[in-house]
Amino acid sequence: MKKLILGLLSALALLPGGMLRSGDVRAAETFAVQSPRRDHRANPHANCHGERYEDRRGRYTKDSWLVYYRGRKVEGASVSSFADLGGGYGKDNWTVYYRGWKVEGASASSFADLGGGYGKDNWTVFYEGRKLEGASAMSFEYKGRGYGKDNWNTYFRGEQLRPGQSPDGMLGGGYAKDSWSVYYRGRKVEGVSASSFEYLGGGYGKDPWKVVYQGREVPGASSSSFEELGWGYARDAWKVYYCGEVIPGASPATFRIPDRR
């Protein structure tokens, strides 16, 4: 059979127009000989769509010999005991990994992914694979939208916030507030009143005097008549806005977003 295949390939190479070059014949010969016994260790990317992948639950994959994260070999990981925890975290019986890199100081036996980049074992809290200094593993929990807290402190994307700024005051869309200030994704929104601030949706918020988009002032916008329309659009009595920017010439009185079908 092998001789028959090689004879056909050689004949094609001699046809007018050169359907196959001599190099292609050699490559085809190699494939025909090697294809029944591919060596995935020599070429871990031999098939991006699946023969070698046994575990597709998350970003981690593995074959019979190695563990990979997004196609990159995870050094030292044990295939037999490796588990994808979600959120970029994985572990075997001895080591915890984040996005394929070893998490120093983490206990594999008790480690769990909490969501939002946070994880913890019985003693330590981690954010994106690094220790969250001072956080209490016993009481720490992930609150959503990048916020986490223990019994004493609140964190946003791994950064400790000042006392009083709590995810319990979350308004939605990345906005939160405490008794004194409004925040957008952990950054203080300057010049707005916490007591009267409201989140409108689509990244927009306002108090009685100022309108903001993603935490930044929308210059010239009228708070009293401002409304969010959806899809990034908004308007007041005089202008139409898209993602916080004025749309020149658009009529707020007649501006509409067509119904989606």
The pLDDT of residue 165 is: 56
Q: What is the DSSP code string of 147-199?
A: EEE-SS-EEETTEEPPTT--GGGEEETTEEE-SS-EEETTEE-TT--TTT-EE
What percentage of the chain exceeds 70 in pLDDT? 74
Residue ranges per domain, the chain? Answer: 2-36, 60-160, 171-246
The pLDDT of residue 142 is: 92
Please compute, for residue 151, the number of CA atoms within 13 A of its CA located in the half-sphere on the CB side.
Answer: 4
Is residue 101 scored above 90 in pLDDT? yes
Q: What is the mean pLDDT of residues 234-251?
A: 97
The pLDDT of residue 26 is: 33
Cα–Cα distance, 243 to 142 (Å, whole number): 29
User: Between 164 and 114, whose confidence is greater?
Assistant: 114
pLDDT digits (tens, 9 = 90+) for 53-80: 333 445 899 999 999 999 999 999 999 9
The pLDDT of residue 163 is: 59
Is residue 21 scored above 70 in pLDDT? no
Residue 170 carries which side chain, given as an amino acid letter?
M
